[in-house]
Structure 1
Amino acid sequence: MLERLFTELGPWNWVVLGLVLMIFEVAAPGIFFLWFGIAAITGLAILFAEALGLTWQIQVIIFLVLSVIAVFIGRKLIGATDAVSDEPLLNRRAEQMVGLVVTLEEATVNGRGRARVGDSLWRVNGPDLAAGTRVRITAVDHGILVVEAA
């Protein structure tokens, strides 16, 4: 049945597949189907090279090779997400607080307490200190602020 599909439609099935994949690209987030859609333009190449008498198996191999090539070219064109940001702590709220001096809201007992940072209370780890003591945030450990006496 698959062979019949490929032989009856000829190169146009690749063009249709390419268009369908590009339509999926519009509906799906990211740039994923685009490269396979471009590779499916194999149909246009096969349309002009029909005289070669390529079997459907060779057409699939050409599609797969062109898909891999299109993905690699696409990654080069779009670039990797390894770009250095000018705001590396933008979405790391706790890490932005390192270096701030804040006041303990609750005394630290056995190394644990709470400090007020802005309008929020944060759990802190540090030496045992009384409530109201000014502390400096030195690090963040899994969302818990590490403090020392200021």
Structure 2
Amino acid sequence: MIGRIIAELGPWSWWVLGMLLLAAELVMPGVFLVWIGLGAILTGAISLLLWETGFWTWQLQALVFAASAIVFTLAGRRYFSRLETESDQPLLNQRGASLVGRTAVLAEPIREGRGRIRLDDTFWLVSGPDLPGGARVRIVSANGQDLRVEEA
């Protein structure tokens, strides 16, 4: 069935595929299908020019499509990566990293390298040297949810 549709549409089948991919980008945003869709449209444009020639086989069309999709993807990533700006809040979604440098009181003593502190309304697991409960500590690093502390 698909082979029959492609045979009937001829070079326009690439245009249809490209438009379907661009429409799918609207449903699944992520700016990825755009580049593949542009590769299909470029292949369709070349197919309009070369459809009647003997060397424009489906294998060559597939290679042109794959190469153009890769080139468009790399060019798009390069272009959009230059547009990224520095954030005025670089630690916005990195809560653990935003705590580095703060001091707190141990809610539970650090035994065998593990303990807990309370910062604001949250208890955090900490690692560091063994210290008694109530000792003042400074957060020196964060690895995900695990905070490393030292005596303040």
Q: CA deviation at 1:112?
A: 2.9
Instruction: Note the residue ranges of structure 1 that are not aligned, 5 or more in a row.
Output: none
Report the count of equivalent residues: 150
Q: 1:44 to 1:113 in 2, by over 3 A?
A: closer
Contact 1:98–1:139 (8 Å) recurs in 2: yes
Aligned twin of 1:146: 148
State the TM-score, normalizing by the size of structure 2: 0.76
Matched, 1:36 2:36: yes
| TM-score relative to the length of structure 1 | 0.77
Quote the Cα distance in structure 2 between the aligned partners of 1:2 and 1:93.
51
Q: Can you list the C-alpha shifts for 1:118-139, whole angstroms capped at 9, x where unaligned?
A: 1122222333333222222222
> Does the CA contact (< 8 Å) of 2:104 and 2:117 recur in 1?
yes
Contact preservation (8 Å) 1:6, 1:56:
no
Structure 2: runs of 5+ lacking an equivalent: none
Q: Give 1 or 2 for the bigger CA radius of gyration.
A: 1
Alignment of 1:1-150 (within 5 A): 5-41=5-41, 42-53=43-54, 54-79=56-81, 85-141=87-143, 143-150=145-152
Find the aligned partners of 1:56 and 1:141 in 2 and give their Cα distance. Answer: 51
Question: How large is the RMSD of aligned CA atoms in angstroms?
Answer: 2.9
Q: Equivalents in 2 of 1:90, 1:115: separation in Å?
A: 21
Find the aligned partners of 2:60 and 2:130 in 1 and give their Cα distance. Answer: 73
User: Equivalents in 2 of 1:106, 1:35: separation in Å?
Assistant: 54
SS of 2:108's equivalent? strand
Q: Structure 2 counterpart of 1:94, which letter?
A: G
Percent identity over the alignment is: 42
